[in-house]
Amino acid sequence: MSCKWIDICPLRRLERQGAIDFTWRERYCDTERNWRECRRYQMEEKGLPHSDTMMPDGSVIGI
């Protein structure tokens, strides 16, 4: 089971633009359980604002 936000997550746009590589998706988003460790997912579930450039580990990339 993948993250329920996988299709609308802003990280997909960053992948298409080449700003990030697909290893983030492989490590977090498209896994059986790791998506629960994604900081983006955790914040989204709590209704907390977060940057579109925040990565699953909580780091923010500057693009």
Contacts of 15 (CB under 8 A, 6+ apart): 21, 22, 24, 25
| Residue-level pLDDT at 9 | 95
pLDDT bucket at 62, cuts 50 / 70 / 90: confident
pLDDT bucket at 1, cuts 50 / 70 / 90: confident
| Cα 53 from Cα 5, distance rounded (Å) | 15
| Assigned token pair, 10 | 């802003």
Q: Does the pTM of the predicted model rise above 0.85?
A: yes
| Assigned token pair, 21 | 């590589």
Q: What is the pLDDT of residues 3-56, one digit of tens each?
A: 999 999 999 999 999 999 999 999 999 999 999 999 999 999 999 999 999 999
Taking alpha carbons only, the member of 19, 3, 4, 11 closest to residue 62 is: 19
